[in-house]
């Protein structure tokens, strides 16, 4: 029997790993109500966050929505700089912020699967299915009927 030669394993330095990841991105989609967010993250030299071709602070002007949208990145505490590009359509501003959080969490899990359990416990990977109920025929709203009057 022929014996196998031991294969040499090459050590990858952090600089080489960053070079390997350069030009590569991870994409994900997040949804909330009728809002849909498509996110692309890439490891970069500086942190950059763009939403619908606008700076993050300019698009999400309310501080509460900024916190919601960036929550997945901050809770992951990766210590890396990410270049984040987001395209959001539909819904209101809050639904868009929550859809962004959902998509960002999915993209981070795609980048590093060890974060998955943390994101699941924070419920960032769960798609919130609650949507507005449609208006029914013969009613004023989804369930609101006309008011009955005796006289």
Which has more confidence, 16 or 87?
87
Whether residue 92 is predicted with pLDDT greater than 70 in this model: the reply is yes
Residue 83's pLDDT is 92
pLDDT band at 80 (very low <50, low <70, confident <90, very high): confident
Whether residue 58 is predicted with pLDDT greater than 80 in this model: the reply is yes
Q: Is the pTM of this model over 0.85?
A: no
Nearest 10 degrees: Cα torsion 130, 136, 142, 146: -170
Report the DSSP beta bridge partners of residue 49: 84
- Domains located in the chain, CATH noted: 32-121 (3.30.230.10)
Residue 7's pLDDT is 65
């Amino acid at each position: 029997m022929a014996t196998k030669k031991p294969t040499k394993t090459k050590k990858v330095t952090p600089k080489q790993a960053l070079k390997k990841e350069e030009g590569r991105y991870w994409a994900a989609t997040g949804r909330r109500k009728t809002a849909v967010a498509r996110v692309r993250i890439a490891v970069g030299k500086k942190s950059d966050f763009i939403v619908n071709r606008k700076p993050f602070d300019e698009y999400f002007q309310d501080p509460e929505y900024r916190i919601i949208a960036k929550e997945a990145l901050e809770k992951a505490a990766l210590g890396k700089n990410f270049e984040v590009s987001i395209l959001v359509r539909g819904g209101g501003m809050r639904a868009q912020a929550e859809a962004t959080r959902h998509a960002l969490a999915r993209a981070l899990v795609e980048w590093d699967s060890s974060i998955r359990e943390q994101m699941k416990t924070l419920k960032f990977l769960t798609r919130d299915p609650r949507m507005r109920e449609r208006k029914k025929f013969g009613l004023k709203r989804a369930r609101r009927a006309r008011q009955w009057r005796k006289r």
